[in-house]
Amino acid sequence: MNKEGIIQELKFKAVRSSGAGGQNVNKVSSKVELTFDLENSNALTELEKNRLRKKLSSKLSKENLLLMQCEETRSQHKNKELVIQKFLETIQVNLVVPKRRRKTKPTRSAIEKRLKSKKRAALKKVNRSKPKLD
């Protein structure tokens, strides 16, 4: 993954934010919307694009655009930094290839331990019952 290349491909849009801020909210566009075109990205390989398409399918639009936004602070520059950071984290986390699970058999001692505990539990339950009078 080429971080610098990806950051250059990002598109930003400043929008008026909601929430606290008084009159400042009505005048200043502090909310930042980030758009990333997954299909036309040159910074990602086809393998990476396919993996992101699968993992981020719920976050992608019909045109395979990833949209993120940030309105945490009143500063547009801070919001831009935060949304870039959040975007890069999302990309990195979803590009990780999970390890393949290797099938293993339980050890002999583990099997014996399990059987002993089952026997103990069974005996405990047998001892709880009423004695038979013959």
Please tell me the predicted confidence (pLDDT) of residue 120: 97
* Residue-range domains of the chain with CATH: 3-95 (3.30.160.20)
Q: By the 8 A CB rule, do 69 and 83 touch?
A: yes
Tens place of pLDDT for every residue, the chain, 134 residues? 788 888 899 999 988 877 666 676 677 788 899 999 988 888 889 999 999 999 998 988 888 899 999 988 888 899 999 999 999 999 999 999 889 999 999 999 999 999 999 999 999 999 998 888 87
Please tell me the predicted confidence (pLDDT) of residue 20: 67
Strand order in the sheet with 31-37: 11-15, 31-37, 65-70
